[in-house]
Structure 1
Amino acid sequence: MKRIILITLFLMMLAGCNGQTVVLLPDMDGHVGTVDVTSETGETVTLVQANQAVKGKDTVVTMSDEDVQKTFGGAIAARPEPTAKFLLYFRSDSTTLTNESVKLFPEIMQAFHDRASTDVSVVGHADRAGDKDYNYKLSLRRANKVRAMLLDKGMPADVIQTISHGEENPIIPTADNKHEPKNRRVEVLVR
């Protein structure tokens, strides 16, 4: 939603900031939010569909993809590439990656090189089996293990930020002391 608002505000600046044209675009994942546009007269119009626009004082129209590209193509092309996100899973109560997760390292490194990235987050997680403090430390050990593997593959240390969430922020919410394989993970975000 923040991306939609920022893109819309940027496009408003390009249009002259005087209410000439405001268009609602999908975010980089294709999701469409909403945006309220208030004119100088105090009239508020809510845009809810992709390419819906306010032109002039309060006229709502839907712009074609071609018109959006013609008017705002330069700004759209300047958006950064979406973050590449990789989920690496672990065996229960360990820092041992699953075989499927080990196979993702070439893709991670390719995304790193393709983006000429200088910003990689390695975020450790644990399921809710066990003590909260233990799970925090376990998820940090998992994140550090993935960091070490990325370093071994040639990623520079100064681009990697390592974080632990412990059992917080699960993919699948569970009761306390519940094993859940999808929550035993490290997320690698390549920007």
Structure 2
Amino acid sequence: MDNQELSILNTPEELNNRASYLITNLHQYTFSNLPSVLDRIITEKTWAKLPTKFNNFGEYTLNQGVDGLGIDSNEKLWLLRCALDFESKHIVEWKDILVNVEQMTKFIPVDKRKNISLEKLSTTPGYQNKITYHPSQVSGKDKAILELNKKKKLYLSKIAKGAITKAEALEKIGITNKKKIAYNQTISSFKRLTKQQKTEFINWLKTEKFI
């Protein structure tokens, strides 16, 4: 529906009905229809059976030709991520996308690509309609996937098959450490305390003979 069509919706009821319709259909397409189609493309490797020869799923999704998915913006990339099981079943395919995106954007000056999450880029004016995402420079899940690919690529296939979780794999290669995470969280929480609360906490440590 374009602006001209939208202008004919005059009553609150008409606007409400249209919004409800669009939300329902968007949800259906994004979280049901599209995921199912993508899963089949990945499972059957149909992306490798097209006239254009792609080396991996990442090349296929970013290709702007008739055989590619034409992902050409942060908005579309975020939508694709929402439709993929990118942390487990489709982690290898999402890794391929990240590697290709990383290659595409590595020469973009930092001030032009804006080092924030893909989700924020997809809703930030000026960054929505182009791919500026550089995952290795943004802390989070995608950076961790690239680290896994760099240090222990085999773990990605194991995660996809359910033989190991992503969290377990990251801990095995030293990216995360439960004890270190707990320590960092404690320090961060302590810094947010008031002066009085810090004093009380230190007194508690003394009472418990920790110090």
> Which has the larger helix fraction?
2
> Which has the larger strand fraction?
1
TM-score range, shorter chain: under 0.3
Q: TM-score, normalised by structure 2?
A: 0.22
Q: TM-score, normalised by structure 1?
A: 0.24
Greater relative contact order: 1 or 2 (C-alpha under 8 angstroms, separation 6 or more)? 1
